């Protein structure tokens, strides 16, 4: 698997509602992207999660805006008046992650009457339980409505177990109780079908390809003392075990849904 690489040519505007201060940027392919900065407080592991979980979602058949690598060069922020943004750009010179900007999209809001079909909702709940993504709640849906379809964004907080990679494997069979807050849970009436479909779609070879696309530097920390290849092997093991444990988190999601009504 190969992501395209673009070069950011213009900082258009900050997306202030995003905690990591992402921005809309223009790139050298004339496209507009939402850039997630490597130098943001969440650290490079947020970009690892954004890439890996995002591509897993796409593999499962969910809509995820195209992900690309985005080069930021030191000239980009030079005339930026806001000091916080200037610092963020300075800390992010080099490779970052960006996603295709969906103009005119709106955030999913069930209070405003947005709904989801059972198949998409069930697959989405399965996906977020698999990826351990806590950021799909009614308050912060990270789900865009665009051209009458749902698009899944913001996976930086997914795979939270990877922040302590020494205990990551132990947590691979977690039921993921946080699923009870999932924004699409009320529509997720076909969870067992979603589980079957997901387990046939998601091949471990594909997960390996996705992990290979992650830049080594994003995986490394000074104090770890292990190589990027060893890290990838831990992730691979984690996802294999998580896949084998899908009955556990599918059941948990079913139980949580039953308690909603
Ligand atoms: N591809 C996109 N197209 C259009 N708008 C987008 C796109 N990606 C993000 N946005 C908008 O920017 C906001 C911030 O993006 P995102 O949620 O990825 O940032 P974040 O800093 O991780 O946010 P959070 O505070 O939820 O952790 C989103 O809530 C959405 O309104
Ligand atoms: Mg968000």
pLDDT in tens, 14-69: 998 878 999 999 999 999 999 999 999 999 999 999 999 999 999 999 999 999 99
CB 156 within 8 A of CB 136: no
**Where residue 255 falls among pLDDT bands split at 50, 70, 90?**
very high
Index of the ligand 1 atom closest to the CA of residue 103 = 4
pLDDT for residue 112 is more than 90: yes
pLDDT computed for residue 78 by the predictor: 85
pLDDT computed for residue 12 by the predictor: 95
Tell me the per-residue pLDDT of 165-212, one tens digit each, with 9 for 90 and over.
889 999 999 999 999 999 999 999 999 999 999 999 999 999 999 999
Least confident residue range of 101-115, 146-160, 211-225, 227-241? 211-225
- Vertex 134, ends 162 and 155: CA angle to 5°? 65
Report which bound ligand comes closest to the CA of 21.
1
Tell me the per-residue pLDDT of 127-169, one tens digit each, with 9 for 90 and over.
999 999 999 999 999 999 999 999 999 999 999 999 998 899 9
What's the gap in Å between 161 CA and the centre of ligand 2? 19
Match 């202030």 to its residue by tokens: 16
Q: Please list the alpha-helical segments (H only) found in the chain.
A: 44-60, 83-90, 118-130, 191-201, 204-212, 216-219, 228-244, 246-258
Instruction: Name 225's Cβ contacts closer than 8 Å, sequence gap at least 6.
Output: none
Mutate to test the pocket of ligand 1, among 12, 14, 17 (most ligand atoms within 8 A of CB): 17
pLDDT computed for residue 161 by the predictor: 93
Report which bound ligand comes closest to the CA of 158.
1
**Ligand 1 pocket, residue 49 CB under 6 Å:** no
Beta strand 106-107 with 94-100 is unpaired
Index of the ligand 1 atom closest to the CA of residue 33 = 1
pLDDT computed for residue 7 by the predictor: 98
pLDDT for residue 261 is more than 90: no
pLDDT computed for residue 64 by the predictor: 98
CA–CA dist 85, 11 (Å, integer)? 10
The tokens for 211 are 């992990």
pTM of the model: 0.97
CA–CA dist 108, 128 (Å, integer)? 16
What's the gap in Å between 153 CA and the centre of ligand 1? 7
b/e map of 38-52 (b: 16 or more CB within 10 Å)? bbbebebbbbbbbbb
pLDDT computed for residue 59 by the predictor: 98
Match 């909702």 to its residue by tokens: 121
């Amino acid at each position: 698997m190969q992501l395209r690489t673009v070069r950011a040519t213009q900082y258009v505007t900050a997306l202030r509602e995003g905690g990591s201060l992402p921005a809309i940027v223009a790139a050298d392919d004339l496209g507009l992207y939402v850039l997630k900065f490597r130098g943001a407080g969440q650290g490079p592991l947020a970009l690892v999660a954004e890439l890996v979980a995002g591509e897993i979602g796409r593999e499962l058949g969910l809509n995820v805006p195209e992900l690309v690598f985005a080069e930021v060069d030191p000239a980009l922020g030079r005339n930026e008046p806001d000091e916080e943004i200037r610092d963020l750009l300075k800390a992010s010179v080099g490779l970052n992650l960006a996603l295709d900007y969906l103009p005119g999209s709106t955030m999913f809001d069930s209070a405003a009457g947005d709904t989801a079909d059972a198949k998409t909702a069930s697959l989405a709940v399965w996906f977020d339980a698999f990826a351990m993504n806590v950021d799909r709640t009614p308050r912060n849906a990270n789900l865009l409505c665009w051209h009458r379809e749902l698009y899944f964004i913001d996976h930086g907080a997914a795979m939270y177990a990877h922040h302590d990679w020494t205990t990551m494997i132990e947590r691979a069979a977690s039921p993921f109780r946080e699923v009870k807050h999932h924004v699409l849970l009320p529509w997720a009436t076909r969870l067992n079908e979603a589980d079957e479909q997901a387990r046939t779609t998601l091949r471990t070879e594909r997960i390996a390809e996705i992990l290979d696309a992650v830049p080594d530097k994003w995986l490394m920390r000074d104090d770890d003392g292990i190589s990027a290849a060893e890290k990838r092997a831990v992730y691979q093991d984690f996802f294999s075990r998580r896949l084998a444990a899908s009955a556990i988190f599918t059941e948990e999601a079913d139980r949580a849904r039953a308690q909603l009504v």
